Amino acid sequence: MTISTNQFKNGTHIEIDGKIWKILDFQHVKPGKGGAFVRTKLRRIEDGSVIDKTFRAGEKFRPVRTESKKMQYLYDSGEAAVFMDSTDYDQIEIAKDQLGDAMQWVLANDEVDVLFVDEQPSDVQVPSAIEMKVTQTDPGLKGDTASGGGNKPATLESGVVVQVPLFIEEGETVRVDTRSGEYISRA
């Protein structure tokens, strides 16, 4: 069984030259002259490196079997993140450079979806939006209102810094888009 470039989806895994890649982004391009092609951004599963690659339209690849399993994030061991299967208490480690930016949205003891590619743990899928408490931000000034524009940096529980409106204070819980890192609303 093969997968063609016109069946690409973000998050799909394919095999190229014996290596497994995750499609982060793709774009079908049909120039006025010449054949159509597909521009992709791919992440190599084994080391997390990202490349841009162009394929001719209709090229075929071997799809890679993926499975998602709910696991609990335990702790950061330095080079890896440690997860536990809640059903049989098995623990696995995934190298941090393989996970990319996903772990900045995860707190200890959070349940996450761990992606297994050909039965090897390879990635963590976080929800598109999360709610997290603001641990540090400058106090708002008198006159800062929801209608008055402007943003300020705020540090969340996980240590990630996001831009929030001036009226947000320490201790409040905010909703953030994990794909862009943008503030959505108060939680």
pLDDT digits (tens, 9 = 90+) for 54-96: 999 888 988 888 888 889 999 888 888 899 988 888 899 888 8
The residue-averaged pLDDT of 162-173 equals 89
Shared domain check, 85 and 108? yes
Between CA 154 and CA 170 the distance in angstroms is 8
Q: What is the CATH number of the domain that holds 79?
A: 2.40.50.140
Shared domain check, 143 and 107? no
Shared domain check, 72 and 53? no
State the residue range of the domain holding 25.
3-63
Better pLDDT: 118 or 182: 182
Report the 10 Å Cβ neighbour count for 187.
Answer: 13
Q: Are 174 and 154 in contact (CB under 8 A)?
A: yes
User: What pTM value is reported for the model?
Assistant: 0.66
The partner residues of 54 in beta bridges, in order of sequence, read 39
Shared domain check, 57 and 83? no
Shared domain check, 145 and 182? yes
- Amino acid of residue 92: I
- For the stretch 70-79, pLDDT in tens is 899 998 888 8
Residue after which a domain boundary falls, among 63, 78, 110? 63
- Give how far the C-alpha of residue 133 lies from the chain's centroid of Cα atoms, to the nearest Å: 20
- For the stretch 90-114, pLDDT in tens is 899 888 877 777 888 888 888 888 8
Shared domain check, 182 and 142? yes
Shared domain check, 149 and 178? yes
Residue after which a domain boundary falls, among 76, 101, 125? 125
- 42 pLDDT higher than 80: yes
Shared domain check, 179 and 150? yes
Query: CA–CA distance from 147 to each of 51, 139, 141, 165, 167 (Å)?
Result: 41, 17, 14, 10, 10
Reduce the secondary structure of 121-160 to three states and give it as a string.
Answer: EEEEECCCEEEEEEEEECCCCCCCCCCCCCEEEEEECCCC
- For the stretch 118-146, pLDDT in tens is 777 877 888 888 899 999 988 866 555 55
Q: What is the CATH number of the domain that holds 36?
A: 2.30.30.30
Tell me, what's the pLDDT at 95?
Answer: 84
